[in-house]
Each structure stands twice: as structure tokens, then as C-alpha cells.
Amino acid sequence: MTGSRLLFSRNAWLFLLSNGLGFLGYAIFLLLLNLYLAKSGLSKEVIAWVNAAISLAGGLLALPLSALYDRMPRKIALFSFTLLQGLFTFLLLFFQEPLFLVGSAFLIGASFTVYMVLASPFMMENTSPEQRIALFSTNYGILYITGLAGNAVGGFLPSWLGGFLGLAGELEGLRAGLAVAAILFSLAAIPFLFLKSYHHQRLPTGKAPGSRLRFPKSAWMFLLAMLIISLGAGSFVPFLNLFFSGRQFSTGEIGLIFTLGSAVNVVMTPLAPLLARWLGKIRGVIGTLLASIPFLVSLAFVRQPALLIGAFVSRQAMVNLGQPLLDQYSMELVPEAGRARFAALLTSIRTLAWAFTAPLAGLVMQRFGFSWLFLGAAGLYLIGCLILWRFCARN
């Protein structure tokens, strides 16, 4: 495995470097955003709409933007839209009015679609078939390592920056922490300037739009399963920091909890290729999702802090262990020329699901608490796994 990683192409290594910077910023951004909005005095419903706007942008724009990306050199698309993500994150920090916050969040989500649409096709295009599991696993390993660092640093970043810069109050410290995330997003664009240009296979032009989407039945059922699973995930994942905050954990403690989750992910990631060899890619995905459900259900009922943290970390480790396998499997379902379009469809489905459930989750959180969100998500995970087993794993 080590040798295959050393043989990654220059483009693959530059992509991994950019992801390291971007994921570090994203971990800080995700950790601090909801806490910043809550400290600004916004209600949970408004916070849910800001989160929904990020997802809604990806869902609405992933498919039309994929056509634009496919007509641009990968280098230009990745550089320009990654840079815009950093600029739009800065923009969010200058507004307090809900409408402007939602608009800024929408622009952040729109710029992030370039990664969601092109990441998997780019990795497939810039590595050999025998190296792909290693590259996808390495990419997720970097995600988890930088997530660990981002959560560890992000939890204490507001107080550190507040003291160092002489900022008044926790709100200004949180804003400064988000500014650091915006800087990291912008820096993540730089490695893309050094990519070697190459010609990627594109969908044929001049045909009716519907003819471009003739994927096999298993691909469409895979998308249906991802829709259902994403409806479950979108109802609680964006709000886990608020969940722990409601359990009287401080910002620093929440950062440490997320750091622990990332640390466990780092340890588990090398097991993904072994899991693929043992069960196969899609069966490995199903197995890890099913294994996460008991821990998800326990979050609805556990109150003891140590058990609560254990359930959170275990659920996250199980789900994330299967992610490299899921990404590669999704690219193998369709021909090479349709990968960017299929990735865009998958992105649209996932992000629209999150956008749809976020406002509903905000209402449920405000009126009933988190328990019903966890139980509903567990049921949706189970349904999605059954569809994957019936239409993908058994073929």
C-alpha cells in the first residue's frame, strides 16, 4: 500500500495538498459557524436556514455547473471556484441580517460544488485502476487528519485569537476563527495553479439532454438510496455542535469531542482497502452504515457524558470508514464520460436532501429536542441500506 501511494501522479499529490488546506479550513468552519450564529442571537430556525442555503446551492447548481466544469480545463475550474469559496466565506462575516447571511451561505455552497462534482472524477482520471482505492483512502485519511487538527485548533481558536488580538467578547473571537477558515479556503486554491493540464473524456455534444443521462438501473437505485440516507444525515449532522452545546459542553470541549472523532477516523481509514477485499466495496458500505445505526439510536437516549461521546465517535467512525469505498463505487457504476455528470447528480441529491431537512430539523430541535431527529435518521439509514442491498450488492 505504501508503495502505491508513492507512485501517485503529480496532479494527485497537488490535489491532496489542496484538500489538506481546504479540509482544515472546513473543519474549523463547520465547528464554529453554528456557534457563531447562535452567539449572534439568531434563532435555531434561522441557523437551520443558513445551513440549508449552503446545501441548497449545491443541490440546485451542481448539475448545471457540472456542464460548465466539463467545458473548462480542470485546472481553471478547481482554482477559480476554490478561491471564490474563501472570498464568499469572508463575505458572510460582514453581515448580521438573516437574509444576507443566507445569501452569503448560498454563495459558499455554490462555490464548493466544484469539489463535490470534480473530486471523484479527478482522482479517477489521475491514477491507475490498481491505485484508486489507495488514493481515495489517502484522500479521506487527509480529511480526517486535518479534521482532527481543525477541531482541536478550532475549539480554542476564538479564545486564543480574542486574547492575542484584544477582541471584545466571544462573538468577535468566533468571527476571527471563521476568518482563519476563509484564509485556508483561499490558500487551498494555490496548488491547483501547478496542475499539469490534461484532456478528460467528456459527454458527447449535440444530443438531446435526456440521452446524456442513460445510466444503468443500479446507478439510479444507488441515487435513490443516497437520497434517503442523506435525508437522515441532513437532519442531525449539521447540528451536532448545537446538540453538545445544549448538553452544557463548552466550545473548547466540543472541539475536543470532534477532535476525538477525527482521531478515530484516522485510525480506521487504513482499514477501508481491507474491508473492500473482505466484503467488496458496496457490501462494505452497507455493513458500516448498518453498524452505525445502534450508536445513532443511543444518542437519542444517553445522557451520561462519557457514553454520549462514545456513541458519537463510534457512529462517525462506522459511517466514515465506508466513504472511500462509496465514492469509488459510485464512479464505477457509470462510463468514464458520464462520471462528472453522475457526480453532479449525486451531489444534487445529497445537498438538496440536506437543504430540505435542515429547516424541518430546526423546527423539531426548537420544539421537541434532538431525540426524534436521531430516531428518524436511523430509520432512513436502514431503508437506504435495504435498497443498496437489493439493487446493488446482489447484482
Q: Could you read off the pLDDT of 72-118 as tens digits, one per residue?
A: 888 898 999 999 999 999 999 988 888 999 999 999 988 988 888 88
Say which residue the cell 464554529 belongs to: 32
Please tell me the predicted confidence (pLDDT) of residue 1.
42
Q: Tens of pLDDT along 131-145?
A: 888 888 889 889 888
Run of H or E residues at 132: helix 132-165
Please tell me the predicted confidence (pLDDT) of residue 198.
73
CA distance linking residue 250 with residue 253, whole number of Å: 5
Assess contact for 109 and 56: CB atoms under 8 A: yes
Residues 88-105: b if buried by 16+ CB within 10 A, e if exposed: bbbbbbeeeebeebbbbb
- Give the list of residues 6+ apart from residue 320 with CB closer than 8 angstroms, or none: 140, 144, 265, 268, 269
Output 209 or 7, whichever has higher pLDDT.
7
CA 69 to chain centroid: 20
The answer, yes or no, to whether residue 380 has pLDDT greater than 90, is: yes
CA distance linking residue 206 with residue 129, whole number of Å: 31
CA distance linking residue 97 with residue 335, whole number of Å: 46
CA distance linking residue 163 with residue 158, whole number of Å: 9
* Main-chain dihedrals φ then ψ at residue 226, nearest 5 degrees: -65, -35
Please tell me the predicted confidence (pLDDT) of residue 51.
86
- Give the list of residues 6+ apart from residue 112 with CB closer than 8 angstroms, or none: 54, 57, 58, 81, 85
Please tell me the predicted confidence (pLDDT) of residue 309.
94
Please tell me the predicted confidence (pLDDT) of residue 238.
86
What percent of the chain clears pLDDT 90, i.e. is strictly above it?
39
CA distance linking residue 186 with residue 211, whole number of Å: 37
DSSP letters spanning 270-319: THHHHHHHHH-HHHHHHHHHHHHHHHHHHHTT--SHHHHHHHHHHHHHHH
The answer, yes or no, to whether residue 207 has pLDDT greater than 50, is: no
The CATH code belonging to domain 2-195+215-393 is 1.20.1250.20
Which amino acid is residue 377, in one-letter code?
A: A
Cell numbers linked to 384: 437506504
* Main-chain dihedrals φ then ψ at residue 369, nearest 5 degrees: 90, -170
Please tell me the predicted confidence (pLDDT) of residue 202.
58
Output 69 or 358, whichever has higher pLDDT.
358
Please tell me the predicted confidence (pLDDT) of residue 209.
41
Q: Tens of pLDDT along 298-353?
A: 999 998 999 999 999 999 999 989 988 998 899 888 887 778 788 888 888 988 88
The answer, yes or no, to whether residue 279 has pLDDT greater than 60, is: yes
Cell numbers linked to 16: 491532496
CA distance linking residue 118 with residue 341, whole number of Å: 9
Please tell me the predicted confidence (pLDDT) of residue 6.
55
DSSP letters spanning 18-70: HHHHHHHHHHHHHHHHHHHHHHTT--HHHHHHHHHHHHHHHHHHHHHHHHHHH
Arithmetic mean of pLDDT, 209-236: 84
| CA torsion through residues 209, 80, 153, 138, sign | positive
Please tell me the predicted confidence (pLDDT) of residue 348.
86
Highest averaged pLDDT of the listed ranges 5-9, 266-270, 272-276: 272-276
CA 167 to chain centroid: 31
Average pLDDT of every residue of the chain: 87
Please tell me the predicted confidence (pLDDT) of residue 199.
66
Pick the closest to residue 158 from 305, 31, 63 (CA basis). 31
Assess contact for 247 and 305: CB atoms under 8 A: yes
Please tell me the predicted confidence (pLDDT) of residue 382.
97
Output 7 or 117, whichever has higher pLDDT.
117
Please tell me the predicted confidence (pLDDT) of residue 57.
86
CA 314 to chain centroid: 18
Please tell me the predicted confidence (pLDDT) of residue 11.
93
Assess contact for 392 and 222: CB atoms under 8 A: yes
Please tell me the predicted confidence (pLDDT) of residue 132.
84
Angstrom CA distances, 95 to 130, 280, 282, 324, 367, stand at 48, 48, 44, 37, 27
Domain boundaries, the chain: 2-195+215-393
CA distance linking residue 307 with residue 312, whole number of Å: 9
